[in-house]
Structure 1
Amino acid sequence: MVKKIQKSGNAAQSAGQAASPLSGAIKDSAQQIWLAGLGAFSKAQAEGGKAFDTLVKEGLSIQRKTQAVAEERISEATSRVSTMANDISSKAAGKWDKLENIFEDRVATALNKLGVPSARDVESLIERIDALTQQVHSLGGKPAAVRKAPTKAVAKAPAKAARKAPAKAARKSSRAKAA
């Protein structure tokens, strides 16, 4: 494009001095555009640092706000998860208790069917023995040593033997009287 202007400028010079004010105006205009560009560059350099600092401050502010929102969301999610975990653990504990009760009931039923006395049965028998011992003592018999309740369950065989012993003694005494 510069070559075209020079060619047209040379043609204008040969045509006369009429084109010279136009070329001078173009040169002046180009010089002003160049100077305006340099001024803009200088101003951008001077104010660029300030603009950069302003952008950094705004970015820091936005980052803090974002972190605060993220922490709030995390705390909400954590509380929801802990609430759900507590609910699940309480439900599981309830199920385990129910399962344990069912197991204990079935074991007690099976032992009862086999004739194994329960702890309550043994305790009531001990209370009856103690009451009978006191009655015998009050009637003038020898005081017998009071038994304490055993801590373990009584086996089936001793319970049957204890039930059969008074029956055998009664049969022997009736035979002895008859003889």
Structure 2
Amino acid sequence: MKEIQMSNPSSNLMDHINAEQLLAQTREGLRKLWLCGLGAYSLATRSSMQTFETLVREGQAMRPKARQQIEETSAELKSSATATIERGENLVRERFLRPLDFVILATRHDIEQLSLRVIQLSAEVHKLASGKIKSLEKPAAKAEAGTIASSA
């Protein structure tokens, strides 16, 4: 024969209470874990905002110093570049232009100036030539008139 075991009603009740307590404790633990995560997120957000604002203040405080450093570095670079350019110009003058001084090359402007001067001088020569011709014609005409008068 089979023996039917009867469960103890108080034991079932205890198991049921323990299971509900365990479930309640688990729910409470999960709720606290959820709140812990939310708290960490809130703290990180607040901390990052404070860090951001601190960095902005530091940047504003550093701005004049950075601008001064940029201006100083820029002035140094300009000075260095100017000196390098001057050395290059001097080198070109010494190596290329000075030897050409002996060759005397005329520029387009020089040629234009000389052409204008030639035109001016040609005009003066024509004036002088036409004045001499007239002055030569006058004595010749007087001489002819004198010879014609003396022969008559």
Shorter-normalised TM range: 0.3 to 0.5
Q: TM-score, normalised by structure 2?
A: 0.43
Q: Which structure ranks higher in relative contact order (CA pairs < 8 Å, sequence separation ≥ 6)?
A: 1
Provide the TM-score with structure 1 as the length reference. Answer: 0.38
